[in-house]
C-alpha cells in the first residue's frame, strides 16, 4: 500500500470517528432535552445526586436496576405508595443524572466499575443529608444488590440512614456461574469504551431499544407509555453506557465478598421474584440466598419475568407493607 492509500484510510477512519462522536453527542443531548431531570439534587462533597421525594410516613427508598433511572419508579409504583410512606427514588451513581462515584476512573478506556458498596456509601450519605431515617430500602435488579450493600454497611457504622428492612425486587443477590456474555465482555473492555460504545450510542435504532425493553419485560408485555416515559436513550449516552456496563461487568467479585456476610443480617428481608426471570434467575439468586438467610421471606410469582414491580404491583406493595409491619412501622 502506498503512502497515498494509507493516508486515505487514516482520513476515512478519522471522518468515521468524528461522525460517530458527534452522532452520539447529538443523541445524548436530545435525550437530555426530552427527558430532563424531574427531581432535585443534593450535593455530597461535590457529587450531585438526583432524587425525587414524595409522600409522608415512614421512609422508603427505591433503587433502580442496570441501565435505568429513577423514572423506573415514578412511572407508576411510587404514586401507589406515597399515601403512607415518604418515598425517595434515587438515580444510582453514574446513571440518570447522578454523578459517578468519586475516585472511580472515568476515562474512555477505563474498565473499573463502581461497586455496590461504593454506590451505597454515596446514597446513604445523600439520605443522611435529606433527613431520611431508618428507611426500608427496596431495589430492583442491580438496585437489589445495592440495597443489600446498604444493609451490610449498617453492620459497621451507626447512621440515621441505616436500613430498617430490605425489599428485593428481582434483585441480584448471589454469585452466578459463568460470565455475562460478549456484550459486557467487549463493551466493558478498553476497546469497547473507546470504540463500540460510541458506535452503539450513535447508531442503535429505536427498534433495537424497544426490542431490548420488551426482552426485559418478557413474558409480560411492556406497559403502555413506559418506553416513552423512562427515557431509555438516557442509558445510551456514551458516559452513562460506560458507567453502567463497567458496574455490571465488574460486579461478581463484590457479590462474592458480600455473600460471606449475609448470615449476619438480622433485619427484615422481603423478596419478590418471578420464576421466569432469565435476567436474574430465581434458582441462582433468591433460592440460594434463603439457604443462608432463612428468615428472609421469598414470594415467588408464577409465570413472571424480570419486572414484577410493573407487572404485579399489588404483590410488590404487599411485600413492602410486610417489611413495614416487621419493622413496626405499620
pLDDT in tens, 280-325: 999 999 999 999 998 999 999 999 999 999 999 999 999 999 999 9
Per-residue pLDDT band for 14 (boundaries 50, 70, 90) equals very low
Q: What is the pLDDT of residues 90-114, one digit of tens each?
A: 999 999 999 999 999 999 999 999 9
Average pLDDT, whole number, for the chain? 93
Average pLDDT over residues 110-124: 98
pLDDT at 3 over 80: no
The answer to whether residues 245 and 114 touch, using CB atoms and an 8 Å cutoff, is no
Cα separation, 90 vs 144, whole angstroms: 13
3-class DSSP state of 269: strand
Cα separation, 212 vs 222, whole angstroms: 11
3-class DSSP state of 160: coil
Average pLDDT over residues 5-26: 50
The answer to whether residues 142 and 168 touch, using CB atoms and an 8 Å cutoff, is no
Q: What is the pLDDT of residues 188-201, one digit of tens each?
A: 999 999 999 999 99
Who has greater pLDDT, 9 or 257? 257
Residue 26: per-residue pLDDT: 77
Cα separation, 200 vs 204, whole angstroms: 5
Residue 6: per-residue pLDDT: 38
Query: How does DSSP assign 208-260, residue by residue?
Result: HHHHHHHHHHTTSPPPTTHHHHHTGGGGGSHHHHHHHHHHHHT-HHHHHHHHT
pLDDT above 70 coverage of the chain, percent: 92
Q: Which domains does the chain have, with CATH numbers?
A: 34-327 (3.40.50.1820)
Find the range with the poorest average confidence among 148-152, 203-207, 323-327.
Answer: 203-207
Q: Name the pTM for this structure.
A: 0.93
Q: What is the pLDDT of residues 38-64, one digit of tens each?
A: 999 999 999 999 999 999 999 999 999
pLDDT at 15 over 50: no
Amino acid at each position: 500500500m502506498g503512502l497515498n492509500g494509507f493516508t486515505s484510510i487514516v482520513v476515512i477512519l478519522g471522518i468515521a470517528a468524528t461522525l460517530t462522536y458527534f452522532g452520539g453527542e447529538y443523541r445524548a443531548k436530545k435525550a437530555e432535552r426530552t427527558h430532563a431531570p424531574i427531581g432535585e439534587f443534593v450535593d455530597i462533597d461535590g457529587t450531585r445526586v438526583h432524587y425525587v421525594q414524595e409522600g409522608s410516613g415512614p421512609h422508603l427508598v427505591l433503587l433502580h436496576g442496570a441501565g435505568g433511572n429513577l423514572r423506573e419508579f415514578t412511572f407508576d409504583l411510587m404514586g401507589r405508595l406515597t399515601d403512607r410512606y415518604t418515598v425517595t427514588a434515587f438515580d444510582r451513581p453514574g446513571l440518570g443524572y447522578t454523578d459517578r462515584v468519586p475516585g472511580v476512573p472515568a476515562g474512555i478506556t477505563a474498565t473499573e466499575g463502581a461497586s455496590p458498596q461504593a454506590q451505597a456509601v454515596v446514597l446513604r450519605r445523600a439520605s443522611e443529608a435529606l433527613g431520611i431515617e431508618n428507611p426500608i430500602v427496596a431495589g430492583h435488579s442491580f438496585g437489589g444488590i445495592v440495597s443489600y450493600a446498604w444493609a451490610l454497611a449498617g453492620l459497621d457504622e451507626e447512621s440515621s440512614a441505616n436500613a430498617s428492612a430490605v425489599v428485593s425486587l428481582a434483585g441480584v443477590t448471589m454469585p452466578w456461574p459463568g460470565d455475562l456474555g460478549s456484550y459486557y465482555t467487549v463493551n466493558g473492555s478498553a476497546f469497547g469504551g473507546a470504540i463500540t460504545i460510541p458506535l452503539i450510542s450513535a447508531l442503535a435504532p429505536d427498534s433495537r431499544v424497544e426490542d431490548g425493553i420488551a426482552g426485559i419485560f418478557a413474558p409480560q408485555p411492556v406497559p403502555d407509555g413506559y418506553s416513552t416515559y423512562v427515557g431509555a436513550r438516557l442509558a445510551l449516552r456514551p458516559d452513562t453506557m460506560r458507567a453502567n456496563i463497567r458496574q455490571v461487568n465488574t460486579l461478581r467479585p463484590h457479590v462474592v465478598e458480600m455473600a460471606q456476610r449475609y448470615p449476619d443480617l438480622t433485619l427484615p428481608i422481603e423478596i419478590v421474584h418471578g420464576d421466569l426471570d432469565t435476567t436474574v434467575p430465581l434458582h441462582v439468586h433468591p433460592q440460594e440466598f434463603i439457604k443462608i438467610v432463612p428468615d428472609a421471606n421469598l414470594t415467588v410469582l408464577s409465570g413472571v419475568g424480570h419486572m414484577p414491580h410493573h407487572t404485579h404491583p399489588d404483590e410488590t406493595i404487599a411485600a413492602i407493607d410486610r417489611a413495614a409491619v416487621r419493622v413496626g412501622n405499620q
